[in-house]
Amino acid sequence: MKQVRPLLLVTNDDGISAPGVRALIAVMAEIGDVVVVAPDKPQSAMGHAITINSTLYLNKISKENDAITEYSCSGTPVDCVKLAVNEILKRKPDLCVSGINHGSNSSINVIYSGTMSAAVEAGIEGIPAIGFSLLDYDWNADFEPIKSFIRKICLEVLTNGLPEGVLLNVNFPKLKKEEIKGIKVCRQAKAMWVEKFDKRKTPQGKDYYWLAGEFVNQDKGEDTDEWALENDYISIVPVQFDLTAHHSMQQLNTWKWNE
């Protein structure tokens, strides 16, 4: 009897030609049958944006390897997951992986990240999902040192599953494989971007702006993703898409709402 290989959905926000997603595809092909649906151009920091006021296009990219099927999509990372689930895949995938992002998605960056929003969308669809990011913004970043860790993490999720409503945000320090101390399950650090805008003028005298800023970690805890990364560990943060602040409900229910 032929063994059924896991069905793996791969996406990202840096675009289908990005070295990070090519590295991720290579690792996933060792584990199961791969369907790639990724943006046809960079879509970083798109958050959970979806396309509703214009058309979406899919372009199937032919490959010699029958275990890998690829599509480029004109939309956002979340569009990619929605189209994969509703139009391309014949069954629900066993795992969705997003990345490998060129740059950090630790701490507050998870809110803005297209990489993580694609994983969140998969989680909403009931698919176990992981977002992977490497703390190296270079287009030619070296992903070889982290491939074995990605394989290990994916196999653990495929074997054990994830708690309902939970997905994983995985960040890797920029280190050689032998320099990485291990994996830590962490909480999201309390940090923020102190933003500023670089204001300029066009030759016609019209103002325009470039967003700039500084990342400030306000959290001194040693159980956070930022601490782990700064201390040469891989950080894994369990993320949920239920945004209810459950801890505040008891207090709010003491207010005189109906008087």
Into how many domains does the chain fold?
1
Residues of the chain with pLDDT under 70: 1-3, 63-66
Residue range of the domain that includes 55? 7-188+221-243
CB 117, CB 164: distance < 8 Å: no
Residue 2, both tokens: 């032929």
Q: 171 in a domain, yes or no? A: yes
What is the reported pTM?
0.91
CB 108, CB 193: distance < 8 Å: yes
* Contact residues for 201 (Cβ-Cβ < 8 A; gap 6+): 207, 208
Q: 161 in a domain, yes or no? A: yes
Q: 92 in a domain, yes or no? A: yes
- What pLDDT is recorded for position 63? 67
Q: 110 in a domain, yes or no? A: yes
Sign of CA dihedral 100, 101, 104, 110: negative
Q: 180 in a domain, yes or no? A: yes
Quick one: which of 92, 173, 84, 99 has its CA closest to 131? 99
CB 134, CB 141: distance < 8 Å: yes
Quick one: which of 176, 117, 115 has its CA closest to 144? 176
Q: 29 in a domain, yes or no? A: yes
Q: Parallel, antiparallel, or unpaired for β 33-39 and 68-73? A: parallel
Q: 195 in a domain, yes or no? A: no
Q: 31 in a domain, yes or no? A: yes
Specify the CATH number for the domain of residue 116: 3.40.1210.10
pLDDT digits (tens, 9 = 90+) for 8-26: 999 999 999 999 999 999 9
